[in-house]
Amino acid sequence: MSTRSLGKLSRGKTHIMCRRCGRHTYHASHKICSYCGFGKSKRMRCYAWQTKTRSGKRKK
């Protein structure tokens, strides 16, 4: 992302720091955090694919 010569994409900040999860994933214009879903839902956003912890239910 640092060596991007296309000037269109680097206009302003897209994601700012989320005040709920503290990550740099809060979309400044959409007002939704892409990590925890802050701004969209009151509950924490949770998907199976984002959990890296193995709960022993893997298919081989």
Q: Which of 14, 15, 21, 27 binds Zn ion (CB under 5 A)?
A: 21
Q: Which of 13, 16, 17, 20 binds Zn ion (CB under 5 A)?
A: 20
Strand residue runs (E) in 4-50? 15-16, 26-27
In the numeric block, which tokens belong to residue 15? Answer: 């994601």
Least separation in angstroms between residue 16's CB and Zn ion is: 10
For residues 46 and 19, what is the distance between their CA atoms, to the nearest angstrom?
A: 17
For residues 23 and 16, what is the distance between their CA atoms, to the nearest angstrom?
A: 8
Least separation in angstroms between residue 18's CB and Zn ion is: 3
Residues near Zn ion (CB under 5 A) are 18, 20-21, 33, 35-36, 38
